[in-house]
Structure 1
């Protein structure tokens, strides 16, 4: 299993977001702190990727992601909303759990491995349900980083 480069410091529970744009900007701000890049540049990369097709994967989950020039290592940020956000997921459900991934431009294999690991973890009903219930970023982190 891939080790996920996520820390509790990169997790936000119920931040004040109203729409998909707010979600991507908030995730970009978190990722800017991890990568040293501008939040605006990361937000643009995430938004451009969304324009190619929604990163909503269903069951109230989305995995916004982008390969970004200047990123030296994979970084992940997580956000859970109190209310579902329309995100064009294939099952039509609004999204409450967002995990954003930015990777170096040349890291195509690591990019896919990270997305696959996250998708596998989030495919487990009990994990998603627990992520929706916890008010604590530490618990959210443990649920994602621990064994399924």
Structure 2
């Protein structure tokens, strides 16, 4: 699997989010610390991408993502929500696991490789179930980043 630029500090476990906008703003706030861009700039980019079509991939997972000017390297943030959020996933299942990715504007290949690696990892039932049961961000990190 592609090495993921994710740290336990960039994982938010069960925050009080009410809707998709709250989720994207929370993820953007985390990513702001990793990119040097403002949370507002990142949230707007993620929301603009969602307006083009949902990044919900099914099975309770979404991969919000954007390519942005000013980002120097790929950054990832994760959010798990206990109550689930409607996110227009193709299977209609509410989303509990959000993994957001931002990459430099010119990094189309890295963008696709990162999304592909995440989608492949999250396609594994045991991984998704483990992430939903993880007790803390360190456990979540280990489950997401370590190959089975």
**TM-score with structure 2 setting the length:** 0.99
**Is 1:98 the counterpart of 2:102 in the alignment?**
no
- CA-based RMSD of the aligned residues comes to 0.4
1:28-107 paired onto structure 2 within 5 Å: 28-107=28-107
Per-residue deviation, 1:135: 2.1
Gaps of 5+ in 1: none
Displacement of 1:104: 0.1
Deviation at 1:144, TM superposition (A): 0.8
Q: Which runs of 4+ in 1 moved over 2 A?
A: none
Q: How many residues align?
A: 148
Counterpart of 1:143 in structure 2 is 143
- 1:97 match: secondary structure: strand
Give the equivalent residue in structure 2 for 1:6.
Answer: 6
1:1-51 C-alpha deviation (Å, 9 max, x unpaired): 210000000001000100000000000000000001100000000000000
Flag structure 2 segments of 5+ consecutive residues without an equivalent.
none
TM-score, structure 1 length as denominator? 0.99
Q: How does 1:126-137 map to 2 (within 5 A)?
A: 126-137=126-137
SS at match of 1:116: helix
